[in-house]
Chain A
Amino acid sequence: MQLSPCPSHATLARLAARPASDRALAAHIAGCAACTQALAELRVLGAAMSRAPLAEPQTTDCLDEMAVARIVDGGIRPAEIAHAAGCAGCRSRIADVAAAGSTKSVAAEVERIESSRPDWRRRFLGTAGLAAAATLIFVFAQQSSGDRASEVDTYRDPAAMAPVVPALISPLDAVVMRPVALRWQSTPDATQYHVTVFDAEGSIVWDSETADTTLTIPGTVPLVHGTTYWWRVEARVGFDRWSRSDVTPFTIGR
């Protein structure tokens, strides 16, 4: 007998990779033969995929540390997607660095370091660098015009070449009471904002889109007292182009 409606296939795909922390969901799966079988099939398929032969690695295109870091930061290039999909070594390096960066301690240190350098891009670019950046933005624009207009081709601006990033206003590393109102400055040329709230493990707790510069996290979102969450804003600044703020923490007050 089913305790609740069956989860979506997307939810089962997520559960195939990691156990359910939701007790109600776990109870449903334990009591639903269809979901149990579907989940078991997905897990078997996932395990078989780890043994499946992939395309031969293109060793001359393997990624160096800067490229791996750029990809982890969200700046993958179209050609690198195909390489990473076929090269177990490069994918392993990307996954390792991403997983390390998602741990609470590393994420906290990264935020501490990066938050004290709001203008690191300008410091590094300098006058000559801005001209180089403008050239590269032109090159990317030329490349984008020839790409298929599809979800797959939505890629992030490399961090160093990003246009103005959304500036977060509040909450900034503060203790706040519910309901939590998120505010940020408007970004030039932005037509839409996508807001994401993460927990300490990097899982998305809530996300939403707005054309405004403020959003309030609904009361139905389970935010735990005394727990720190992270949030960021992505501004849509062009066709398939987004500019992303850094993630900033806030803690739910008791």
Chain B
Amino acid sequence: MESRLDRWLEELRGGRTDAAWDLFIDRHRRLIFSAIRHYASEPDDVMDVFAHVCEALHQDDLARLRRYTDAPSPEARFSTWLVAVVRNLTVDWFRHRDGRRRQSVPAALSPLQRRIFQHVFVDGDSHEECFQRLRLSEAEPISSHQFSEALTDTYRLVHAAGAEAGSLRGRAAPDTAGPVSPEQDSLAAAAVEHIGTLLAMLEPADRLAIQLFVVDELSAADVARIVGWPSAKMVYNRVSRGLATLRRELRRSGIEPGDL
């Protein structure tokens, strides 16, 4: 049975762009919708994002699709590549929407908080990405403790001002465990900094696996496939050993879990 995927490719290569588009969207509409719904839950948002995705893919004679079809030897499945493209277009749509909706930066924000607002609420960066960008750009080095405090204050001020806080994946505001002593703050900051140092000492594959499994909460099967390990069991074992190493080294440095 002739593949309908090949039919749209044949039309595209034959210069019949409209026919190629019709066949492509007929074949992949459901996948596109499914991928969008992973990021957007409101039905109106889903339809708007779908329209944005279609417009972007159709633009310039299906130029974006040609990036895959014209590649000499595509290295990934077309459907996986399409999910990656839809992900990026969905992120772009949310960023533009939230940029338009933003009334104004709450006046009470400090310069650092304004930069956090831009990264997290407008650009849609994760807290971790925001912290990395600030560390690279700030003239004065910013500690993780300073960042955590500023991030918490930014959330509080933004919500108090009633500003729209678009969040692609519904990230929650950082935990606010209540007032702590300066000594505890300092200990926690040092401990988190030390974790970063310890993570950097792990094998890159182990470090990536731990981050994907623990921080990004991917399944062990997904982590195994991404890192290139043969099974989920290996993920459990390597992550377990890596975490045990972190715990042991932290304790050796005099840092207990309660200090985090």
Q: Which of B5, B34, B127, B234 contacts A103 (CB 8 A)?
A: B34
CB distance from B22 to the nearest CB of A (A): 17
Give 1 or 0 for each of A28-45: 1 = CB within 8 Å of chain B CB.
000000000000111011
Q: Is the interface of B mostly helix, strand, loop or mixed?
A: helix
Residue tally, chain B, CB below 8 Å to A: 95
Q: Given the complex, which residues of B lie within 8 Å of A75, measured CB to CB?
A: 75-76
Q: Which of B3, B30, B136, B244 contacts A117 (CB 8 A)?
A: B3
Q: How far is the CA of A66 from the CA of B193 in the complex (A)?
A: 34
Q: Which of A18, A93, A133, A198 contacts B217 (CB 8 A)?
A: A18
The answer on a CB contact under 8 Å between B83 and A202 is no
CB distance from A105 to the nearest CB of B (A): 4
B49 interface contact, C-beta 8 A: no
Size bin of chain A's contact surface: 35 or more
The answer on a CB contact under 8 Å between A113 and B5 is yes
Within 8 A of A (CB), among B31-89: 31, 34-35, 37-39, 67-68, 71-81, 83-85, 87-88
The answer on a CB contact under 8 Å between A13 and B243 is yes
The answer on a CB contact under 8 Å between B129 and A89 is yes
Q: How far is the CA of A97 from the CA of B238 in the complex (A)?
A: 23
Q: How far is the CA of A155 from the CA of B37 in the complex (A)?
A: 31
Q: What are 20 residue pairs bridging A and B, where the CB atoms are less than 8 Å apart in the complex?
A: A49-B210, A50-B128, A51-B192, A52-B144, A52-B192, A54-B199, A65-B85, A65-B88, A69-B76, A91-B212, A98-B212, A99-B222, A105-B34, A109-B79, A124-B71, A129-B73, A132-B72, A159-B76, A201-B219, A202-B222
- What 20 additional pairs, Cβ within 8 angstroms, besides A9-B244, A124-B71, A202-B221? A13-B236, A42-B243, A49-B246, A53-B131, A55-B200, A65-B67, A66-B71, A68-B84, A81-B205, A91-B212, A99-B216, A105-B34, A105-B37, A151-B238, A194-B230, A201-B219, A203-B221, A204-B231, A207-B231, A234-B230
Spell out B's residues near A (CB within 8 Å). Answer: 1, 3-6, 27-28, 30-31, 34-35, 37-39, 67-68, 71-81, 83-85, 87-88, 125-129, 131-132, 135-136, 144, 147-148, 169, 175, 191-193, 195-196, 199-200, 203-208, 210-222, 225-234, 236-240, 243-244, 246-247, 250, 257-258, 260
